[in-house]
Structure 1
Amino acid sequence: MICKKIRFKDFRNISEADIELCPEVNIFYGNNAEGKTNALEGIYLFAHGKSFRTSSDKDMISFDKDVANCKLYFEDSVRSHDMEIKLIRGSRKICQRNGVVIKKMSDFVGYFRAVLFCPEHLSVIKDGPSERRNFLDSAICQLKPIYLASLQRYNNILNQRNTLLKNYEEDRQSFDRTFDLWSAYLAREAALIARERYEYVKVLDGYVNSFFNDMTLGRESTKMDYSCALTEEEYLQKLTSNVEKEIKAGTTLYGIHKDDIDIYLNGNEARSFCSQGQQRCLALAMKLGEGEISRSVTGEHPVFLFDDIFSELDSKRKEYVTNGIKKCQVIITSCEKEGLERVAGNVIEVTQGKYSRIK
């Protein structure tokens, strides 16, 4: 999978840009706050349907504008494609694929696939469970449209159920009439999501251990588990047996929104025992594993997006990452000028939202 060109109009600090990319390495070079990450964010938007920097679409629209336009041209092994996203202040975004308006995000996400690696991901091992759940959801959504649709339904149902719990004393009638129904709906979606997460982690475990073993020259090993209920009946039993506690708490206490990945390093819990260096190696291995699973499922290498990540890595890890993604298109942001002349690919200088190819 190759991103050929990306166009922006009134996106962040980019008034207008038409950026052509090569199939190998592309580096956006410039000082901080010039707009390097904005381009990466725009490309990521087509893979995930949302930003990795903000939860609000309006934040991506230029300050004095009401509409932002992004258009991506890419090709896979079958044909060329174009995708377009129009962000509208005060309204829902409009998404198109090959000229056809796509109304459901679950029908849009996954046609263009990208793996993002940014400095925040380096702490995924020691961060809270929500970061590891986000990692799983982000990866699986690109591969399974049904997963994204189920995740959206789960979150909507969860909100309804939580509202009933929160308002139990004030609206007992609504609780008695609909609570069991919402619990059954929640259990159904939870079981589907949990099975997909479980299967993904089972495959990811092998890749992560292999990559980590390579990085440490065979000295260390890893293990990953996703322990959870897997059937609808198991989830429903958990939900119905904790109702009194949930009424007191005013929220749903059990479900896939509370799950976590158990990660072990040399038999010990990685979150408690790994050093900063080991933590970074594990995060790298997880991202490389994500790319390999995407390739094995779809038959296409995803595009790798590296946001200022090489400044966070030592020379050995930089070399390992570079060697591990030689067959993939890579788009990198960097503040470092040193070594750019040796890059076998595009170097694009970014200044105040303007993009100029210098190599």
Structure 2
Amino acid sequence: MLLENLSLLFFKNYDDATLAFSEHINCFIGDNGSGKTNLLDAIHYLSLTKSAFISSDAQSIKQGEDFFMVKGRFIVDDTKHTVQVSLKQGQKKTVTHNKVVYEKMSEHIGRFPVVLISPYDTDLIREGSEERRKYFDSLISQLDHTYLETLIQFNYILKQRNSLLKQFAERNYYDRDYLHILNEQLVPLGQQLAQEREKFLEMFVPVFQKHYRHISDSSETVTLTYKSQLLGSDFAQQLLQHERKDMALQRTTIGPHKDDFVFLMDGNPVKHFGSQGQQKSYVIALKLAHFEVMAERQHHKPLLLLDDIFDRLDEKRITKLMQMVAAHTFGQIFLTDTHLDRTDKILEGLSESIRRFDVKDGVVKVIADG
């Protein structure tokens, strides 16, 4: 799979930009704040219909404008696919594939996969369980459309149930029958999510462990486990047992939306016992396993986005990544860096075609091909 070109209109700090890409390596070079990462985020929008870095789509509209548009052409198995994401202030976001609007944006997820490795990846270790659930839910959803639909339905019913619990408190009444109807709808969806997450990790963990050994050259044993109160228990019964607590707190306190993915090293939490270098190796191994599993399931390699990793990784880990590039492990690569000479030195000796772009204050120019 290739991304042939990219067009932007009033996206973040860009007025108007059009880029044509190398089929191998594309380098965005510029100072911090120049808009390099925004180009990666535009590619992320084309794949997953949302930003990798901000939760509000409206924040992607250039200041002073009232809409943005991101457009790109993918090539998959010699077939061209034009994808466009657009948003007008105060209106609903629109995603089109070959000029046809998706009825449900979820239909687009997984068609044009990307994997992003960025300095923020260690947030998966440092932050709370919500970050890890979002990451694995996104990964599994790209591989399994049924899982995505189940997740969407679960979140919809969960929102209804939480709204009802708040109404009970605000209006001082209790409709137990309606609450139990929502419970009946929630239970099979929640159980399905928990089972699919557990099943996914059984397949994913060995791939992750393989990449950790390669990227770190270390002897410690790493793994990750799925922590859920639903596995091996009756979700319906648990909802009944937590009913009084849910009413007091005005939210649903039990279910897959409270589960966690636990990152371990030699049996201990990586967050507390892993060095900074070990934590970096851990999340890079996660992303490389993400890439391998996606490539195998989708039968084509995802786009690989590398955001300022040369600034954050030591020479050993960068060398390991470049060895994988040289071995043609990846397909098309997009990377950002602040120093052209450093990028050229790291990529020196690679046989792949390389296109370099100079990025300065929202203006992008091709420097050289090589």
- Normalising by the smaller structure, the TM-score range is over 0.9
Give the Cα separation in 1 of the matches to 2:158 and 2:231.
18
SS in 2 for 1:185: helix
Kindly state the Cα deviation for residue 75 of structure 1 after the two structures are TM-superposed. Answer: 1.2
Could you tell me which residue of structure 2 aligns to residue 38 of structure 1?
Answer: 38
Q: Deviations over 1:126-168 (max 9, x none)?
A: 3211111111012122222232222222222212111222232
Give the Cα separation in 2 of the matches to 1:3 and 1:230.
41
AA at the equivalent of 2:206:
G
Q: 1:78 to 1:255 in 2, by over 3 A?
A: farther
1:11-30 pair list within 5 angstroms: 11-30=11-30
Which of 330, 334, 339 lines up with 2:333 in the alignment?
Answer: 330
1:209 matched to 2:209? The reply is yes
Could you tell me which residue of structure 2 aligns to residue 129 of structure 1?
Answer: 129
Kindly state the Cα deviation for residue 199 of structure 1 after the two structures are TM-superposed. Answer: 2.1
Kindly state the Cα deviation for residue 17 of structure 1 after the two structures are TM-superposed. Answer: 1.0
Q: Deviations over 1:209-229 (max 9, x none)?
A: 111122333512212211335
Instruction: Decide whether the 8 Å contact of 1:183 with 1:236 is kept in 2.
Output: yes
Instruction: Decide whether the 8 Å contact of 1:8 with 1:15 is kept in 2.
Output: yes
Could you tell me which residue of structure 2 aligns to residue 358 of structure 1?
Answer: 367
TM-score with structure 2 setting the length: 0.91
SS in 2 for 1:52: coil
Could you tell me which residue of structure 1 aligns to residue 350 of structure 2?
Answer: none
1:84-163 pair list within 5 angstroms: 84-163=84-163
Q: 1:222 to 1:175 in 2, by over 3 A?
A: same
Kindly state the Cα deviation for residue 240 of structure 1 after the two structures are TM-superposed. Answer: 1.5
1:245-260 pair list within 5 angstroms: 245-260=245-260
Q: Deviations over 1:4-23 (max 9, x none)?
A: 11111111111111111112
- Root-mean-square deviation (CA, aligned residues, Å) is 1.9
Kindly state the Cα deviation for residue 266 of structure 1 after the two structures are TM-superposed. Answer: 1.9
Q: 1:12 to 1:269 in 2, by over 3 A?
A: closer
Give the Cα separation in 1 of the matches to 2:314 and 2:54.
29
SS in 2 for 1:168: helix
Structure 2 unpaired stretches of 5+: 348-352
AA at the equivalent of 1:257:
H
1:199 matched to 2:212? The reply is no
Give the Cα separation in 2 of the matches to 1:105 and 1:218.
42
AA at the equivalent of 1:357:
V
Q: Deviations over 1:303-336 (max 9, x none)?
A: 0111212211001111112223433211111112
Instruction: Decide whether the 8 Å contact of 2:230 with 2:255 is kept in 1.
Output: no
Give the Cα separation in 2 of the matches to 1:61 and 1:136.
28
Instruction: Decide whether the 8 Å contact of 1:190 with 1:232 is kept in 2.
Output: no
276-285 vs 185-194, greater mean Cα deviation: 185-194
Give the Cα separation in 2 of the matches to 1:101 and 1:231.
39
295-304 vs 78-87, greater mean Cα deviation: 78-87
Could you tell me which residue of structure 2 aligns to residue 291 of structure 1?
Answer: 291
SS in 2 for 1:8: strand
SS in 1 for 2:227: coil
Give the Cα separation in 2 of the matches to 1:104 and 1:348.
35
AA at the equivalent of 2:51:
S
Kindly state the Cα deviation for residue 234 of structure 1 after the two structures are TM-superposed. Answer: 2.3
SS in 1 for 2:355: strand
AA at the equivalent of 1:331:
F
Could you tell me which residue of structure 2 aligns to residue 176 of structure 1?
Answer: 176
Give the Cα separation in 2 of the matches to 1:46 and 1:230.
35
Could you tell me which residue of structure 1 aligns to residue 164 of structure 2?
Answer: 164
Q: Deviations over 1:97-118 (max 9, x none)?
A: 1221112011122111101111
Give the Cα separation in 1 of the matches to 2:340 and 2:163.
53
SS in 2 for 1:115: strand
Kindly state the Cα deviation for residue 175 of structure 1 after the two structures are TM-superposed. Answer: 2.9
Q: 1:8 to 1:48 in 2, by over 3 A?
A: same
Q: 1:113 to 1:272 in 2, by over 3 A?
A: same
